[in-house]
Amino acid sequence: IREPEEISNDTQVQQMLAVARSRGIETAFDRADQTAARCPFGSAGLCCRSCLEGPCRIVPNGSGPRRGVCGADADTLVARSLLNTMIQGAAGHAEHGREVAEALLKTAEGKAPYVIRDVGKLMRVAKGLNLETEGKSINEVAKAVALAALEDFQKHEGVMNWIEYRGHQKSREIWDKLGITPVNAHLEIAKAVTRNAMGGDADPLNLLLGSVTMGLVDGYSGLHLSSDLQDILFGTPKAVKFNYSLAVLDEKKINIAVHGHIPLLSEKIVEWAQILEHKALTVGAEGINIVGVCCTGNELLMRQGVHAASSFSSQELVIVTGALEAMVVDIQCIMPGIQQVAECYHTEIITTMPHVKIPGATHVNFEPEYADDAAREIVERAIRNFAKRDQAKVVIPTGAVEAHAGFSVEQICEVTAKINADKPLQPLIDAIKDGTIRGVAAVIGCTNPREPQDIGNVTVARELLKNNVLIVTTGCAAHSLAKYRLMNEDGLEACGDSLKAMLLQLGQLAGLPALPPALHMGSCVDNSRPLDLLSAIADELDVPISSLPAVGSCPETHSPKALTIGTYFMAHGVDVHVGVDPQISGSNLVARTLTGSREDQGITMDGLFGGKLIVESDPVRAAAILLERIDMKREALGI
């Protein structure tokens, strides 16, 4: 059993973990310790549960059976098990995109109570999709955009609209040649499930290409489509301040945590918390305090500056403060364990999606048409729960960290346009060319209860910053970097001299003391934004994205979604580091194909797309490898 200090670098998490243990409350960190001995077959990707001949297991070291009953060997098993993971990731993000598209359609038809907050973006997206905007009303254009989005789940031939729109041409050529460009998200997911079933695709390399298709489905019907439509509905993020840590809970107020991923309901909860603030006063509270958890938290902080309380692995500890009246969840990354913790307190867990329920939790159904009713009911429930709070149980750590976020590509360009109004990206390109910025790294992904929280994310970021690599960040990794002051001017001490000077100069142009060393680009679906930035830079230089000195790093991943996002980056030729074992070690062929270099014999991701997988659990070593790859790409570019 690990001590709190071994579990997290965050002293507030350590404090709350000690409180949980003293009260006999079990959390994910304890369960990670209880299940520490992991199945060696599954860990290597060598357990097949595809049919009732099995489960079949192949011994990782080669002794014992070499094939399952059907004859599938280790390479096939590992490739299939990876594709299974990819299907989960792609399906989650595709469903996110589809739900937002439906909400936009209902809004355009006047059936859902949302407004189009960013008309400029709506028009840009419509033009990008080659839709007619002349003489059309805002709602007509919005309806056309929503229908184009929904078509990405229905088409039977051609290429997904969002790939036509957002996909980088030079990457497209490779995907088209390989025949892996997705037609529609649902069709590709169904095909992937079929090929992965018993008696389907047995060719490990073909299965790996299937994984790349899942990466593209995730990237375009999930990430790009969601970011574009959410910006249209809720506004494109702009520089904003927020506070981070468990200390954002307010003892004097009614606290509501919004947790999950889709901002459709949580945006409404923020609205209704303001409308019903007066009711909070009638029950003796000083107001209503909304705090974010995971990526719903990221969505709200990016657009509204809502404070964020926790990343994935410490989500249960928000409840352990004893000051939480409700935790509202939508989809993804929601631990069922929150309900057991909530039962020790007055906290009400409220599920909101018909396909994501938890035994014992309250369910308030969310449909875009009735978003106001659901949000109102949830806020009223939280207000009622305040009376049940046991003040003796309240322990809230102190010391929230101030951070800056909201760095959409549009916001970054607005800042750099102050140096070059005609070509806003030029100052960044010049800085990359002359070495002021050695490279760009997207530090993304999760926290994982089995890993020491924040250490991987923060160490990789600090090592790269020290070497003048500009960091952009999303997801729970962004929570880690915010906590350790890499999202305010204090973090400048972590930067190399040339990067620091540039951040100071750009920050002052933006009216801030400095740009933060880690630019928060949003939630995990907002991993579209780093790719859009790279795409635009590659276009200016007329090179493929794979030529740019850019890398991705996911040091503390746990989620299939993070692996799918990583695959989407690799499909564009960006090297991706993962700090947690991706469970592919059971097949040399699969591991070599993913992690090998272009010079190696045989087919490799690097050879096909120009970007490879780097598996390294030591964050210092991982950063050193990423720097090597950045330098290799700089040299090849002649800069």
Task: Find the part of the chain contacting ligand NFS (CB under 6 A) among 264-272, 538-546, 559-567, 624-632.
Answer: 559-567
* Listed residue (152, 144, 138, 140) closest to 98, CA to CA: 152
Choice between 462 and 561, CB closer to ligand NFS: 561
* Listed residue (258, 229, 273) closest to 331, CA to CA: 258
User: What tokens does 616 get?
Assistant: 């390294």
**Single-letter residue type at 71:** G
Choice between 334 and 510, CB closer to ligand NFS: 334
Which one of residues 146, 295, 309, 396 is an interface residue with ligand NFS (CB under 6 A)? Answer: 295
Q: Could you say which residues in the range 198-257 bind ligand NFS, by CB under 6 A?
A: none
Q: What are the beta bridge partners of residue 254?
A: 288
CB of 100 to ligand NFS, least distance (A): 14
CB of 93 to ligand NFS, least distance (A): 8
User: What tokens does 364 get?
Assistant: 């308030």
* SS3 assignment, position 411: helix
Which one of residues 244, 312, 407, 569 is an interface residue with ligand NFS (CB under 6 A)? Answer: 312
Angle (CA) 508-457-221 rounded to 5° is 85
CB of 261 to ligand NFS, least distance (A): 6
Choice between 300 and 492, CB closer to ligand NFS: 300
CB of 525 to ligand NFS, least distance (A): 7
Which one of residues 20, 294, 308, 317 is an interface residue with ligand NFS (CB under 6 A)? Answer: 294
String marking each residue 495-524 x if it binds ligand NFS according to CB under 6 A: ----------------------------xx
CB of 615 to ligand NFS, least distance (A): 18
Which one of residues 561, 612, 633, 634 is an interface residue with ligand NFS (CB under 6 A)? Answer: 561
Q: Give the chain's count of helices (H) and strands (E).
A: 28, 16
* Listed residue (292, 342, 289) closest to 320, CA to CA: 342
CB of 88 to ligand NFS, least distance (A): 11
Task: Find the part of the chain contacting ligand NFS (CB under 6 A) among 182-190, 266-274, 536-544, 555-563.
Answer: 555-563
DSSP secondary structure letter of residue 347:
P
By the 8 A CB rule, do 320 and 255 touch? no
CB of 140 to ligand NFS, least distance (A): 33
CB of 616 to ligand NFS, least distance (A): 19
Choice between 213 and 559, CB closer to ligand NFS: 559
String marking each residue 519-538 x if it binds ligand NFS according to CB under 6 A: ----xx--------------
**Rounded CA Rg of the chain:** 24
Choice between 416 and 527, CB closer to ligand NFS: 527
Choice between 453 and 488, CB closer to ligand NFS: 453
Q: Could you say which residues in the range 315-334 bind ligand NFS, by CB under 6 A?
A: 333
| Whole-angstrom distance, CA of residue 349 vs CA of residue 325 | 9
CB of 89 to ligand NFS, least distance (A): 9
Residue with tokens 């990457």: 171
Q: Is the peptide bond before 55 cis (omega within 30 degrees of 0)?
A: yes
Q: In the Cβ-directed half-sphere of 294, how many Cα atoms lie within 13 Å?
A: 28
| Whole-angstrom distance, CA of residue 552 vs CA of residue 130 | 31
Choice between 28 and 614, CB closer to ligand NFS: 28
| Whole-angstrom distance, CA of residue 522 vs CA of residue 477 | 10
Enumerate the H helices of 256-332 as residue ranges. Answer: 263-275, 277-282, 294-304, 315-320
Choice between 248 and 524, CB closer to ligand NFS: 524
Q: Could you say which residues in the range 333-362 bind ligand NFS, by CB under 6 A?
A: 333
Choice between 561 and 612, CB closer to ligand NFS: 561
CA distances from 428 to 96, 279, 315 (A): 32, 49, 37
Task: Find the part of the chain contacting ligand NFS (CB under 6 A) among 364-372, 512-520, 554-562, 607-615.
Answer: 554-562
By the 8 A CB rule, do 327 and 349 touch? yes
* SS3 assignment, position 183: coil
CB of 446 to ligand NFS, least distance (A): 3
By the 8 A CB rule, do 290 and 306 touch? yes
Burial code (b: 16+ CB inside 10 Å, e: under 16) for 174-187 equals bbeeeebbbbbbbb
If one asks whether residue 475 binds ligand NFS (CB under 6 A), the answer comes out as yes
Which one of residues 476, 510, 512, 594 is an interface residue with ligand NFS (CB under 6 A)? Answer: 476
**Single-letter residue type at 483:** K
Choice between 333 and 378, CB closer to ligand NFS: 333
Which one of residues 19, 562, 591, 613 is an interface residue with ligand NFS (CB under 6 A)? Answer: 562
Task: Find the part of the chain contacting ligand NFS (CB under 6 A) among 163-171, 463-471, 558-566, 624-632.
Answer: 558-566
**Site size for ligand NFS, by CB under 6 A?**
14
If one asks whether residue 480 binds ligand NFS (CB under 6 A), the answer comes out as no
Burial code (b: 16+ CB inside 10 Å, e: under 16) for 343-372 equals ebbbbbbbbbbeeeebeebeebebbbeebe
CB of 402 to ligand NFS, least distance (A): 22
Cα end-to-end distance, the chain, whole Å: 50
| Whole-angstrom distance, CA of residue 317 vs CA of residue 313 | 9
If one asks whether residue 446 binds ligand NFS (CB under 6 A), the answer comes out as yes
* SS3 assignment, position 325: strand
Which one of residues 559, 587, 595, 604 is an interface residue with ligand NFS (CB under 6 A)? Answer: 559
Contact positions vs ligand NFS (CB under 6 A): 261, 294-295, 312, 333, 445-446, 475-476, 523-524, 559, 561-562
